[in-house]
Amino acid sequence: MDVIPGRRSVASPYRALLSLFEDRLFLPDLNPSYYHLLGLALSVLYLYARAPGLKIALIVVVLLADWFDGATARRYHRVRRAGYITDVVTDRASEAFLFAAEAGTVLGQIFFLLWMVNALLTFYSVYSNKHTSLPLRFVYIVGLIARGWGIGN
């Protein structure tokens, strides 16, 4: 039986908001792994990014790719447990590169430790069949933008 871990109720409003846009998106009938590959490649590229603007742009595209892979799978009825696992391990790998790149800063070090917690939560998600993860990249990008605007400096 192909059981896909369900989302927690706390994620429902966010999911509902995403689905509003998702229905209007143009999504080609692609293998969602192309989006995974794009997200991973950009996360590796992030290791070389120095300008804050470029860093923010890269994370935004990585997050969009993460959204599109799931949206494509849902639109074309390709939602499978293997696809779910591909998605979550791609997310963890992407976070690993993003936060390893920032390990020179205190914020990066904290997020690298949180990435390790998130990786453990991935195991818990498949064990309990209840998707549990910390939205680290979303929070991190907010931190980057805040730092760019001089908030908290």
Q: Which residues bind another protein (CB under 8 A)?
A: 31, 33, 36-37, 40, 44, 47-48, 81-82, 85-86, 89, 92-93, 96-97, 100-101, 103-104, 109, 112-113, 115-116, 119-120, 122-123, 126-127
Give whole-number Cα distances, 17 to 54, 60, 101, in Å. Answer: 27, 17, 31
- Distance in Å, CB of 96 to another protein, minimum: 6
Please say which residue, 18 or 107, places its beta carbon nearer to another protein: 107
What DSSP character marks residue 11? Answer: G
* Of 116, 87, 77, the residue nearest 99 (C-alpha): 116
Tell me how far apart the 2 most distant CA atoms of the chain are, in Å: 51
- Distance in Å, CB of 19 to another protein, minimum: 25
Please say which residue, 58 or 101, places its beta carbon nearer to another protein: 101
Residue listed under structure tokens 């969602």:
32
- Distance in Å, CB of 101 to another protein, minimum: 7
- Distance in Å, CB of 149 to another protein, minimum: 27
Quote the CA–CA distance of 129 and 8 in Å, as a whole number: 10
Contact residues for 103 (Cβ-Cβ < 8 A; gap 6+):
109, 112
Please say which residue, 89 or 151, places its beta carbon nearer to another protein: 89
Please say which residue, 32 or 143, places its beta carbon nearer to another protein: 32
